[in-house]
Amino acid sequence: MTGETVLQVEKPGVHCTLQDLGRPGHRLAGVPPGGAMDRFAIAAANRLVGNPDNAGALETLLDGPALVALEGCLVAVTGGDFQPLVNGAEAPGWTSLWLAPGDRLGFGRRASGARAYIAVGGGLAGDRWLGSVATYQLVGRGGIQGRPLRAGDRLALAGEPAHPRISGRRLPEDRRPAYSAEPALVAVRGPHYERLAPAARRRLFAAWWEVSRDADRMGYRLQGEPLEVRGPELISFGLAFGCVQVPASGQPILLMADHQTAGGYPAVAGVARAALPLAAQLLPGQRLRMVETPVTVAQDAWRALRANLEAII
Amino acid sequence: MPRRASPRGPRLHALGDAAALVEIGRRVDTALNTRAIGLAAALRKRRGVREAVAGYASVTIHYDPDQVTFAQLQATVRNLFRARPAPPVPGRLHRIPVTYDGPDLEEAARALGLDVGELVRLHTTPTYRVFMVGFVPGWAYLGPLPEPLRLPRRSVPRTHVPAGSVAMAGAQTGVYPLPTPGGWHLIGRTDLPMFIPDHDPPLLLRTGDRVKFFARN
């Protein structure tokens, strides 16, 4: 913890953790990339307050924390629409907001989405592990002692806030991801697609898949008519964020930020980077569809999404 | 389905739009694994490759599509595969002390038709290879397990296995690095930490290393 202490946690919310863009480069040790589930939203929040995309920011699930400013600071809330409130008055999302000392950032009723991001000018400090402040709860590392926020926690800046501190900067609505409670996710055929029975191949990219209650930062179990897989068991191989695996039950698993780094279930599809922010905003009971896309087209979709970060006005 | 390596070399398969898998075989085999480790090491030096992780007989490549296209990566993989592989780097040898008193020890011995002493003797005889690391931080897939010790996984996995548990299932053995759920047969425990968070890399056993267990009791 280096910079000044800027925020005090009055209420922690259901599950609010410090994240950044994760710690790639350590899969050889079995360490997943981790970091924000919605990489577009955290990058946008950071840019709105003058931070690099990878600065530490809060990821809050289902509801928001209540934070009191101890010092003046610039904040921005992005991701799901959690109705940010400054001193009880509605404040816009995807917009930089100035908090004076004593101001309270809270949240109203969640209107849509699963995860919101709160960035602070200067970036939030946390325990750095393997080059990242992202909270990784399985091993209790990163973030605030490797755990979600608690009431009474005080959050410090990682560095000096960039100048000028401009409130009212925003990302126009048409430049934000097309979040939906029933998104169509750009996806690429996976290495073991041909292990699916013919009917299952058709269904993989045609059917709606419901996010089950077994959905967390590691991955989502999806529910639908089971997919029949054929052939002998595979030997374990390395996995990636967005992989769709099919275990013997036939119910697919979508791997998310804190995913296991190796496994042996057939990988039948991979959700593209451009679509992972949409997946990150889903809750149990909502459903998704995967749209088969060539790799190069999926990569272009990510470039197009990323270019939207330049549209902050 | 991934094809056998054609004369042109193995095929690259997309794992999403920024990762790819190349499978060079389907067996648990030291020569294939050595080849995978060598291919991963060579790939790591290539432009646009951010990470290359060797599996049992595969390499998972994480790449930056703004620096290298999927097609270029496919060509690189085939060129590297055709080239004479670099001589394998000998892995480090670890001697791991085990107290053989796991909750499944006697039941496993019974199921295998062995007495506990024979099970322990068989488990401590080979020098195992770390075929790959993954699943959770510090988990090393060790093998091959001697034939007389091979059992299917437990039908009902445990919801909590303590860190340091020495376990086996199928042709594999290993040490749980963290308290996690698990379906392997727990035959012993070690005090030697597998996951070492304050080290970089944060683990004891690396892909290609060798492991010999010895009984402390």
Q: Tell me which residues of chain A, numbers 26 to 55, contact chain B at a CB-CB cutoff of 8 Å.
A: 26-31
- The domain spans of chain B are 12-82, 93-215
**Quick check: B43 contacting A, CB < 8 Å?**
no
- Chain B residues within an 8 Å CB radius of A242: 15-16
Distance CA(B215)–CA(B190), nearest Å, equals 10
Mean pLDDT, rounded, for B77-99: 90
Q: B17, B28, B50, B196: which to substitute to probe chain A, counting the most A Cβ within 10 Å?
A: B17
**Quick check: B168 contacting A, CB < 8 Å?**
no
DSSP secondary structure string, chain B?
A: -PPPPBTTBPPEEESSSSEEEEE--SS--HHHHHHHHHHHHHHHTSTTEEEEEE-SSEEEEEE-TTTS-HHHHHHHHHHHHHSPPPPPPPPPEEEEEEB---TTHHHHHHHHT--HHHHHHHHTSS-EEEEEE-SSTT-EEEEPPPGGG--PPPSS-EEEE-TTEEEEETTEEEE--SSEEE-SEEEEE-SS-SB-TTSSS-BS--TT-EEEEEE--
Q: What is the ipTM of this complex?
A: 0.96
- How far is residue A200 from each of residues A97, A254, A273, measured CA to CA in Å? 49, 17, 24
- Position of tokens 């280096």? A2
Mean pLDDT, rounded, for B115-132: 97
Say whether pLDDT at B47 is over 70: yes
Query: In the A/B pair of chains, how many CB contacts fall below 8 A?
Result: 157
Could you give the maximum distance between any two Cα atoms of chain A, in Å? 63
CATH number of B93-215: 2.40.100.10
For residue B6, name the pLDDT band (cuts at 50, 70, 90). Answer: low
Distance from CA of B37 to the nearest CA of A (A): 11
Q: What is the pLDDT of residue B181?
A: 87
| Contact assignment for A191 to B14 by CB distance below 8 Å | yes
Task: Map out the domains of chain A with their CATH numbers.
Answer: 5-171 (no CATH), 184-311 (2.40.100.10)
pTM of the predicted protein model: 0.95
Could you give the maximum distance between any two Cα atoms of chain B, in Å? 59
pLDDT in tens, A7-19: 999 999 999 999 9
- Chain B residues within an 8 Å CB radius of A240: 15-16, 18-19, 60, 62
pLDDT in tens, B173-206: 999 999 998 889 999 999 999 999 999 899 999 9
The pLDDT mean for chain A works out to: 96
- What is the third-level CATH fold of B12-82? Gyrase A; domain 2 (3.30.1360)
Q: Please, which residues have CB within 8 angstroms of residue A177's CB and are 6 or more apart in sequence?
A: A38, A40, A41, A277, A278, A281, A305
Question: Which range is least confidently modeled, A94-103, A117-126, A157-166, A172-181?
Answer: A157-166
Q: Are A109 and A12 in contact (CB under 8 A)?
A: no
